[in-house]
Amino acid sequence: MKSIFHMTRLRQSNSRLFNSVFDRLLNILFPESCPICGSPTDAHETAPICNQCWQSLRPYNGPACGTCGRPLFSNAAVLCGICMKEAPAFSSARAFGLYEGTLRKAINLFKYHRIRRLSRPLTRLVLGGEIPSVRIVLPVPLHKRRLREREFNQSALLAKGIAKKISADLAVDCLVRTRDTLPQVGLRSGERRRNIKNAFAASSRTSITGRSVLLVDDVITTGSTVQECSDVLKKAGAREVHVLALARGAGD
């Protein structure tokens, strides 16, 4: 038993040593500066973000709505006013942290600057929390025109990593975006709902009837997008829909 323990510790030590040497070699051959603090990038797994900035990322552990995950002002509250007024189509929605500071910059580097390699460390952040028991994982889809422009769907990359880790089926074609909407950024809550209305449809390529599904997005702000997607999935036969995101934005 002691022998197995010592072998495990030795492998971990060797792995850390290898990563340290590898990081130094990469810094010599391909020097990069952290886009957040300007220091030399010193960790290949989170490059171009340096290790110190990455370690500053913390999950949100404050009071939150038990259904949609919206941050609340008091631990005494169980649900937010929006969920009390009308229950959403999804059963739960959770996010790793708040869409601010280093997390916001990391997501923007991944999403808008096409740094795909950040998908792995960002996926690990999400997996650090509680994951609902589901059979199918699917991303919030992009319209085909937006997908051509961006070259990849950031939510699909996150969904792929999550599905693999929890041994669930990945269904990237289960939900399709039928209408190319305006960007949600800058729109108020009511405008977001109108903008996204009837913009999604369920595909017949994957059966979700009677099955629990996990809908993955990068950022939840007012929740209009995931609400519309969840409504479509429930009408297509999903037993329940859970939502998982990297960050929760400040909705109005």
Please give the full DSSP string across 62-90, using - where no structure is assigned. S-B-TTT--B-S-TT--S-HHHHHS--SS
Q: Is the pLDDT of residue 42 over 70?
A: yes
Whether residue 68 lies inside any domain: the answer is yes
Q: At what angle do helices 189-196 and 224-235 cross, to 10 degrees?
A: 40
Whether residue 235 lies inside any domain: the answer is yes
List beta partners, residue 136: 169, 213
- Give pLDDT, residue 191: 74
Q: Is the pLDDT of residue 194 over 90?
A: no
Contact 34, 48 (CB under 8 A): yes
- pLDDT bucket at 156, cuts 50 / 70 / 90: very high
**Domain residues for 174?**
57-248
- Look over the chain and give the mean of its residue pLDDT values, rounded to a whole number: 86
Q: Which of 197, 165, 204, 201 is nearest to 181 (CA)?
A: 197
**Token reading at 195:** 């903008």
Whether residue 182 lies inside any domain: the answer is yes
- The distance of Cα 10 from the centroid of its chain, to the nearest Å, equals 34
Q: What average pLDDT does range 175-188 have in this prediction?
A: 75
Greater confidence, 195 or 144? 144
Whether residue 133 lies inside any domain: the answer is yes
- pLDDT bucket at 17, cuts 50 / 70 / 90: very low
Ordered alpha helix ranges (H), the chain: 2-29, 51-55, 81-85, 101-112, 119-127, 144-150, 154-166, 189-196, 224-235
Could you report the per-residue pLDDT of 202-218, keeping only the tens digit for each?
987 778 999 999 999 99
- Give pLDDT, residue 207: 84
Whether residue 28 lies inside any domain: the answer is no
| Distance separating alpha carbons of residues 222 and 190, to the nearest angstrom | 9
Distances (CA, A) of 169 to 17, 70, 173, 205: 35, 28, 12, 13
Q: What average pLDDT does range 111-120 have in this prediction?
A: 93
Whether residue 40 lies inside any domain: the answer is no
| Distance separating alpha carbons of residues 163 and 103, to the nearest angstrom | 22
For residue 236, the domain's CATH number is 3.40.50
**Token reading at 95:** 């996010």
Burial classification of residue 32, based on how many CB atoms lie within 10 Å of its CB (0-12 exposed, 13-18 middle, 19 or more buried): middle
Whether residue 36 lies inside any domain: the answer is no
Whether residue 62 lies inside any domain: the answer is yes
Q: What average pLDDT does range 22-49 have in this prediction?
A: 76
- The number of folded domains in the chain is 1
Please state the length of the chain. Answer: 252
The model's pTM is: 0.85
